[in-house]
Amino acid sequence: MTPTRFEALPLAAPLHRVLRELNYTVPTPIQAQAIPLLLQGRDLLGCAQTGTGKTAGFALPILHALHEHPRQARPRSCRTLVLAPTRELAGQVGKSFATYGQHVRFRHTLVYGGVGQVPQVNAMRGGVDVLVATPGRLLDLIDQGHIDLSQVEFFVLDEVDRMLDMGFLRDVKRIVALLPARRQSLFFSATLAPDIVDLAHTILRDPAHIRIAPETTTAENIDQQVCFLTREDKRPLLEQLLRAQAGAKEQKLTIVFSRTKHGANKLAKSLCAAGFGADAIHGNKSQAQREKALDRFKRGLTPVLVATDVAARGVDVRAIGLVVNYDLPNEPEAYVHRIGRTARAGADGRAVSFCSEEELEFLREIEKIIRMPIPRWDDHAWHIEALAERHARGKTASFSKTPKPSNNGDRGGRSRFHSRSRR
């Protein structure tokens, strides 16, 4: 039976004390399912979005084990290794361990790039109970002889899909090869694409599976629209939208979603050539490059940000007035996440999705998961009525392009949906 309150979980007294102090009474779904399994020593494959409470879901059982079975970590070693893709995420995880473990005697530290390594080397010299690290800096310090992973008892691989998108697969495999065979392993990802499942099978031993369905309702203040057009006509329609956005009385920011990293780069460059201030963020960009691009976007210096799904997870900017799905996502849940970048904190927003012939099935899956049709926006020069009709019929047939006169960016087919939203 899944526990409905934290007090029902068999956690150590210091952890129940901090939960009371934090006013934590009801666990989230992933916490309620994961904590009892992890307390039993099971490996875990968890599929959950950021913001579902998964950090507490793994931090509390690990802290419980450290409290119940205290021992001095060996020099340069750690009892727990949490691997995160970025230093921001590593910092968040480290802060969570400090918060939940404030009444537990344990040592923890962070290891990530972009800063000097000397304090990190010094922190590891005497060994720690919990090490939260990014792959690159961790391997650097291992190669220099400053960190030994042979004593790891608990291994957590967090945000796996983002880690792979950033090109860390080889590093992750190198790190896993250095871990002892006898350990408890936890594997968390927002999606379970085939390459992620394959990696999980090489890391986990008879794992329990938890899948937390992402939020599938759309924000109440977002005007959603879909345009049916050819792939070649996406860019001119995007430029029309951006011109209308730039000429609006209230200046708002725009985020454009591309399915691939190469596509994001190419689109950002073409928009810059057309006179729009644009930049791209994706997994191939360095942490410093992503932070610089995001800072310029927030300040309005580059009012258009072209992003891939994974790189955009940390984008929480209130002034985004328009989201454009230049490429429809092949994971339908990502649609809800994407359009949720606008209409933040009670503001209004607009989300326009481009659908070409090869994306019709993606659109059908999106509308299925949000349980509503997305209103058509036909009143632009590149509309293809035959493609729209194919979507409406749910059939496949040939079509021909039938241009219509441009309306200079006016909105058509506008509709507001009222539904529950998690801000």
Beta 320-325 vs 349-355: how paired, if at all? parallel
Q: Tokens representing 152?
A: 């790891």
User: Is 70 inside any structural domain?
Assistant: yes
Of 180, 211, 242, the last residue of a domain is 211
158 and 17 in one domain?
Answer: yes
**Over the stretch 283-338, which tens digit does the pLDDT of each residue have?**
777 767 877 888 899 899 999 999 988 666 657 677 899 999 999 998 887 888 88
Question: Which residues contact residue 360 at a Cβ distance below 8 angstroms, ignoring those fewer than 6 apart?
Answer: 387, 390, 391, 396
**Over the stretch 221-235, which tens digit does the pLDDT of each residue have?**
789 999 999 999 999
Q: What does the DSSP assignment read for 223-273?
A: EEEEEE--GGGHHHHHHHHHHHHHTSSS--EEEEE-SSHHHHHHHHHHHHH
CB 335 within 8 A of CB 316: no
User: Is 198 inside any structural domain?
Assistant: yes
265 and 196 in one domain?
Answer: no
Nearest residue to 255 via CA among 339, 344, 323, 349: 323
236 and 141 in one domain?
Answer: no
Give the domain extent around 364. 222-393
Q: What angle do CA 26, 27, 33 make, to 5 degrees?
A: 140
207 and 156 in one domain?
Answer: yes
Place of tokens 């909105």: 411
Structural domains of the chain, count = 2
Instruction: Give Rg (Cα) of the chain.
Output: 24
pTM of the predicted structure, to 2 decimals:
0.65
Predicted local confidence at residue 313, as pLDDT: 63
User: Is 366 inside any structural domain?
Assistant: yes
Predicted local confidence at residue 88, as pLDDT: 82
**DSSP bridge partners of 228:** 355
CB 229 within 8 A of CB 237: yes
Query: At 247, which CATH number?
Result: 3.40.50.300
189 and 104 in one domain?
Answer: yes
Q: What does the DSSP assignment read for 101-163?
A: TTTS---EEEE-SSS-SHHHHHHHHT-EEEEEE-HHHHHHHHHTTS-B-TT-SEEEE-SHHHH
193 and 268 in one domain?
Answer: no
> Which stretches of the chain drop beneath a pLDDT of 50?
395-423
3-state secondary structure of 55: helix
The letter for the amino acid at 93 is V
Predicted local confidence at residue 421, as pLDDT: 33
Predicted local confidence at residue 214, as pLDDT: 62
User: Is 406 inside any structural domain?
Assistant: no
